[in-house]
Amino acid sequence: MAARITLESALKDIIAGLSELDNEACEDRFKVRNKIWRRAGWIYDNAIDIRVEVANNEKKKYTSEEINFNTIPMRTKAETGDRQTADYVLWWKFKFEPEEAFRKMGICFERKEVKDFHGTIIQNYDRFDREIDRFLQDPKTKMMLILIEGSLQEALAYIPPKRYSGDAVKGMISSKLGAIASIEARGVHVCFKSSRTQAANSIKKSVEHFWQKSIDFILRDELKEIQENGIGTKYKKELSNLPGHDELSGKPARIPTKKRSTVQSSGTRRTRSSKSKK
């Protein structure tokens, strides 16, 4: 019979896998990494809530429907203790935790139309460079992506509706290419998308993959606590409210009839099939 995955077992498997990867004698690193990523994916699908804080000065905000995450206005530095680093900042918590437990996931996004990108590079690059500095100085954030709603060719070709000499146009194109290289050399990803829809869809995919591939960073405090103190009564008490899934099939494990009614009435039971219908 396939093993039943729970949040407790997923966390333990992730810790064991990370420990194995630290050992130079690990023989099949690919297999170990993939098991870590599968367990992280299970947690992502079943055990966490995600929301996106959106900058108040963002003019054409992505909606919750576009990016498939709940969105709220970005809180101030006085409320969070953090300075704004991007237009869209991801926060998460375990489902059994209260609202105030939301913490930074570690990934953020800037959204720019082709016209905005031109203005940022040609007219306001110093200010944007300071935003990148804030990202790099934030220990809670690991990845920043700039989403351009247009192709590279469109971004380079865009010129404001004024008269410019040929040399001036060449200078602008050279400045844009240089800025892109400089931004990426600092560890920020510049992503050109063909449309607003494609850019919004890329947020969903990027967040999911970031969660899986950076689970050791995202859960650094939780994993450290478990390693030092064990899984803890807090987790053991609350994890029983989450569904288990069979190791091989990925389908929900069978729950005794008596418990099933309790879980369903609490509104916390979720399966992959029910999520896909939303």
**pLDDT for the residue 262:** 37
Q: What angle do CA 54, 60, 64 make, to 5 degrees?
A: 55
Q: Tell me: the pLDDT tens digits for 55-79?
A: 998 989 999 999 999 999 998 888 8
Q: List per-residue pLDDT tens for the chain, 278 residues long.
A: 456 888 888 999 999 999 999 998 988 999 999 999 999 999 999 999 999 999 998 989 999 999 999 999 998 888 877 777 899 999 999 998 999 999 999 999 999 999 999 999 998 899 999 999 999 999 999 999 999 999 999 999 999 888 888 899 999 999 999 999 999 999 999 999 999 999 999 999 999 999 999 999 999 999 998 888 877 666 655 555 555 554 544 444 443 333 333 333 334 434 444 444 44
Residue 67 belongs to what domain range?
48-217
Nearest Cα to Cα of residue 218 among 55, 106, 115: 106
> Does 111 lie in the same domain as 168?
yes
For residue 225, is it within any domain?
A: no
First to last CA, the chain: 31
For residue 277, is it within any domain?
A: no
CATH number at residue 90: 3.40.50.10130
Q: How many domains does the chain have?
A: 2
Amino acid residing at 218:
I
> Does 207 lie in the same domain as 100?
yes
For residue 233, is it within any domain?
A: no
Q: Where are the alpha helices (DSSP H) in the chain?
A: 7-22, 29-46, 64-67, 77-80, 114-122, 125-137, 152-157, 166-185, 196-213, 215-218, 220-229, 232-239, 257-266, 272-276
> Does 108 lie in the same domain as 31?
no
The two three-digit tokens of residue 204, written as one number: 């969903």
Nearest Cα to Cα of residue 79 among 56, 110, 50: 56
Nearest Cα to Cα of residue 192 among 90, 114, 89, 109: 114
